[in-house]
Amino acid sequence: MGNPPPAPWRRAAVVAALMLAAFTFNTTENLPVGLLSLMADDLGVSLTAVGALVTGYGLTVAVVSLPLAHATRSIPRRYLLAGLLGVLAVGCWASTLATASYGLLLAARVATALAQALFWAVMGPVAVGLFAPERRGRVIGLLSVGGSLATVLGVPAGTWLGGHGGWRAPFAVLGVLALVSLLVVAAVLPTSRPRESHAAYGAAPDRRRFLVVLATTALSVTGAFTGWTYVVAFLDEVSGFGEDAVSAVLFAFGVAGLAGVTLTGPLLDRFPRATLCVPVAAQTAALLGLYAGGSDQVTAVALLMLLGASVGPVFMATQSQVLRVAPGRTETALAANSAAFNVGVAAGALLGGGLLPLAGLRGTFLAGALLTAGALTVLTWPAPKPATAPARSR
């Protein structure tokens, strides 16, 4: 007989702590983008070296997600999550040391990336397992809101704080947020074996559908980042926005992304296929529209907001789908989806960089649209009908 579910306030506290942790991890990952010059000047390294702190972070997550998920599959999630959040806190605080060199900062980033790779694999099953199976999508939606707030609030606020209090200050705050998440998880999350939860396995295992979702993640993310990596240059050279206006447009992109995730989350359980197909189609239309009409400023802003409102829901919906169709343990399946996402980020940036001298800034968005259209084709391709045995003659 299974253990009774925790009290509602305990479940709410765990979800809130995991939302805060997702916000902290995502902000930590991307914060150096907003502090490039400050960090480079203080550490005495190039902008490229600081940029590698972000690129290397994503690649680490992509490479280690699956092996770590498999190696830790039997550890009680209360202890595992507490340990991961402890690594996040220490990694953030190590960055604040006045004597921290680039090498120490790089080591702290690698350790934090290892923790994040495993966090994304186990966070969903832990939170979903606290609720009834029919609420899986809504819980994933809430967790995605926490991660999306990093783009809209975390990175801009960290950039502002870094400009006024030094680049180490926002990392100190992030360490405190990680500690708060750790204390709540350690105090409230029940201690149970992962396989005891209904969320440990897919609700409707389907290996073919699982592979379709992975392909959708990889193709759509590669498509998005083929253009998005160079969006600042696009807004400047193609759309004609000034530096201050670019910041406002990117903020609008983030707000649209948060709105998309917030509105889509409650629909994941009722419309599992539509909540994935519609955002992928919208992303295709947005990228293609930017290629064709991005020189008009009003059109460019509208299409970038459409892109923001679709990119976040795509990944959220793939995570929800993975929890539904995972052919084995869900944490391993989610780790594979996270790896596909991070591979897509790196591949998109590399592809866009290769196309830039050949096809220009517009061409990167056209290539992104074609890749995303490929994801939509894979997603909507009809499943093969099972072969029927020939009738026997009498």
CA distance 350 to 352: 5
Q: Flag whether pLDDT at 217 surpasses 70.
A: yes
Q: How many helices (H) and strands (E) does the chain have?
A: 14, 0
| Long-range CB pairs of 79-84, under 8 A, 24+ apart, other chains included | 79/191, 80/118, 80/122, 81/18, 81/21, 81/119, 81/122, 81/123, 81/126, 81/185, 81/189, 82/182, 82/185, 82/186, 84/115, 84/116, 84/118, 84/119
CA distance 187 to 57: 30
- Predicted local confidence at residue 131, as pLDDT: 86
- Predicted local confidence at residue 296, as pLDDT: 95
Strand partners, 201: 329
- φ/ψ bin of 189: left (φ > 0), alpha (ψ from -120 to 50), beta (otherwise): beta
Mean pLDDT of 138-160: 88
305 pLDDT tier (thresholds 50, 70, 90): very high
User: What are the pLDDT digits (tens) for 183-206?
Assistant: 999 999 988 766 667 777 888 899
- Predicted local confidence at residue 7, as pLDDT: 84
Q: Flag whether pLDDT at 128 surpasses 80.
A: yes
Q: Flag whether pLDDT at 1 surpasses 80.
A: no
299 pLDDT tier (thresholds 50, 70, 90): very high
Percent of the chain with pLDDT over 70: 95
Mean pLDDT of 370-387: 88
151 pLDDT tier (thresholds 50, 70, 90): confident
- Predicted local confidence at residue 302, as pLDDT: 96
Residue 374's nearest CA partner among 312, 287, 302 is 287
Number of C-beta neighbours around residue 28 at 10 A? 30
394 pLDDT tier (thresholds 50, 70, 90): very low
Mean residue pLDDT across the chain: 88
- Give the DSSP letter string of 16-83: HHHHHHHHHHHHHHHHHHHTHHHHHHHHT--HHHHHHHHHHHHHHHHHHHHHHHHHTTTS-HHHHHHH
Range with the lowest mean pLDDT among 199-203, 352-356, 377-381?
199-203
Q: Flag whether pLDDT at 238 surpasses 70.
A: yes
Q: Flag whether pLDDT at 138 surpasses 90.
A: no
User: What are the pLDDT digits (tens) for 261-284?
Assistant: 999 989 998 999 999 999 999 999
Q: Flag whether pLDDT at 216 surpasses 90.
A: yes
293 pLDDT tier (thresholds 50, 70, 90): very high
Angle at 176 (CA atoms; ends 140, 131), nearest 5 degrees: 25
